Chain A
Amino acid sequence: MWQTIEQMAPYAVGYTIPILAAALGGLFSERSGIINIGLEGLMVVGSFVGGISVYYFGPSMGNLRAAWLGILLAMAAGILFSVLHAFASINLGANQTISGTAINLLAGALVLYISRRFVGTGNIVVNSMTRVDIPLGKDIPIIGSLFLTDTYPTTWFVLAILLIGWYVIEKTPFGLRLRACGEYPEAADAAGINVARIRYAGVLISGALAGLGGAIYTVTTAGQSNGSVDGLGFLALAGLIFGQWRTFRVLAAMLFFGFAVTLAQISMLLPSFASIPPLALKVFPYVVTLLALVVFSKSSQAPRAEGREFAYKKN
């Protein structure tokens, strides 16, 4: 049993980190008051940019460098794409759920279009990043063998972002203002804060982080970009609800989902799971998500102003 978990850990973390990045992005957006259903589409954009970077630049600068370049470009692409959502939600007062859905559909279609046009196929295969062990750390009992061996470098990148993100939200003036915009923007407005600008920041950050998540997914776990991230963006959203919009709880939720998805993927190979019907294993992550939602949605601590109309005054 323990060995199984040990073997699963790198894969589980491999799933956790992309959705964690996306969820962090969603956190910034939603706590500023804008619902972002479009995380899935933003991840797709990131996944594509990451994949195509390795495809084009890999031969010249080596796969590893190309992957990191792809990750940075993916963040930029995510920011650009999320402007669409920000503009529709903030300037045009559109229904945020529909705007987010449009982003998802657009991303999926556009990515395949460009992919076919310029690469010739919708499916770009890349070599995954190599995994490393953390020196010294790997000898720590339990945690060492679970999380500090066989890790992707990108994992640590995202965890660093997690800590920075937590600090920004809870401890800085920007974070205070962001949270005010998400709970009761009228208070921020009366304090002379430009609510629209803060919300733009929230959405653009979500674009960057979701794009990051998608790129990491492609260059580590998935090994390909095919125009879809199989619902991971929605898992990230569910994780926000599961984690009640608090940074570290979201981390725990995403870890949980990471293990659930991994279980579904590799379980068919493990003898101990042979007796469980394959259908149950395949749908396990989705069912688990539903159950988590049922338990956690009722007493929701969602940012109160989320999705609510607000009159952005332009004196």
Chain B
Amino acid sequence: MVSICAILLGFVAGAVLMMTSSSNPLSGFMYLFQGGLKGVSRFCNTLAYAVPLMLTGLSVSFAFQTGLFNIGAPGQMLIGGIFATSLALTLDMPRVVMLAIVISAAIAGGTLWGAIPGLLKAKFNVNEVVSGIMLNWIAYWIVYITISDNFKSATIDTESQAIPGAASLREPFLTRLTGGSNLNLGILIALIATALVVFILAKTVMGYEMKAVGFNSSAAEYGGINVAKNAILAMAISGALSGLAGLTFYMGYSNNMRIGIMPSQGFDGIAVALLANSNPIGVLLSAFFFAILQTGKGFMNAMMPIPPEIADTIIAVIIYFAAASKLIEINMDRIKGFVLRRMGKAKAKKGGQ
């Protein structure tokens, strides 16, 4: 309920902005959605774009459930991505082996980059938001320099070399099937990851411990749970998920890594998680919704003079209202009461006749 209101409010904000661009909001939104959904190719592109968002959404919501704010998702994507890319461009092995290697590499990179803020928080009480941002920038420069020095594309200075087919998540069969879209094996990774996350949180001892630490770390400590270990573990898993997001983005949706860009999917993952209220299935839906915004904006920008940043603006507004959910909750009761009273009056009127 809260989520729907937040989305609506985000669209209202978007509509207002569109009007300042002397554009008709209805056409604006129409082109936005068309750009995202019309036709098999576009639809699957959106789906493919949603995959990294699903993974970063899972990552951030997993951290939320355990009481931590993983704002370092972009950095984890970058490190997971660079680990995988470096190996992909250096080794030459059969496809199955390559896939195993790059997936492991991405997980390793993301885990490392996620565990660091967790460790700093658990042992030194360092605010994980500030440390996360610092690590994002450190990762940014690591990727920048590593690719510039070692893996630069022959043609474009700001890109890495193309990922060889053996290592890429792109599957020619899929690409043909979906009319040339970017849909790739990443979707499988996302679905499996979601299932794993659901399983861990609901059924395992590990999930029980992590949630307890997230809800009330004092009580968890009292019960004998190792708070530090669980905080680090939760951030590590969260990092692993974002590392996988990097893999699916750089080696699935795209075919290389670009330098000088902080991947926005990292921050969008926060919006996805908030909107889905950290529910894993909700994350899948929420990610798809945000993907529509991001893939449709290009088409909209081509058809109308609306700058594409409107998509990011709408997303930011949605986060704001999702965070301010109390307002909506408070007014929910008022709205409910109002509606019920109206219905009661209508019924009484009918009964009296």
Q: Give the nearest-CB partner of B327 in chain A.
A: A92
B126 touches A297 (CB 8 A): yes
A297 to B133, CA, bound (A): 16
Cβ-neighbour of B309 out of A88, A116, A279 (below 8 A): A116
Secondary structure at the B interface, as helix, strand, loop or mixed, is: helix
Contacts of B267 in A (CB 8 A): 105
Q: Does B20 contact A (CB under 8 A)?
A: yes
A33 to B107, CA, bound (A): 38
Contacts of B316 in A (CB 8 A): 102, 105-106, 108-110
Cβ-neighbour of B326 out of A92, A98, A113, A116 (below 8 A): A92
A294 to B37, CA, bound (A): 47
Please encode chain A, from 273 to 301, with 1 for each CB lying within 8 Å of some chain B CB and 0 for all others: 00000110011001101100110011010
* Contact status of A106 and B313, CB under 8 A, knowing A99-B324, A234-B130, A279-B141: yes
A108 to B316, CA, bound (A): 9
Q: Does B24 contact A (CB under 8 A)?
A: no
Secondary structure at the A interface, as helix, strand, loop or mixed, is: helix
Instruction: Give the contact-size bracket for chain B.
Output: 35 or more
- What number of residue pairs across chains A and B have CB atoms under 8 A from each other? 132
Residues 234 to 273 of chain B near chain A (Cβ within 8 Å) = 267, 270-271
Contacts of B315 in A (CB 8 A): 105, 109
A113 touches B120 (CB 8 A): no
Q: Does A197 contact B (CB under 8 A)?
A: no
Q: Does B310 contact A (CB under 8 A)?
A: yes
Q: Give the nearest-CB partner of A107 in chain B.
A: B316
Q: Does A209 contact B (CB under 8 A)?
A: no
Q: Does B320 contact A (CB under 8 A)?
A: yes
Give the distance to chain B from A241, nearest Cβ to Cβ, in Å.
7
| 12 A–B pairs (Cβ distance < 8 Å), ordered by A | A94-B326, A98-B323, A102-B319, A106-B317, A109-B312, A116-B307, A117-B21, A231-B137, A238-B134, A283-B137, A294-B120, A298-B125
Q: A102-B323, A297-B125 are in contact. List 17 more A-B contacts (CB 8 A).
A: A87-B324, A88-B320, A101-B69, A101-B71, A102-B316, A102-B317, A105-B312, A106-B316, A112-B307, A117-B21, A234-B133, A279-B142, A283-B138, A286-B135, A290-B135, A293-B134, A294-B124
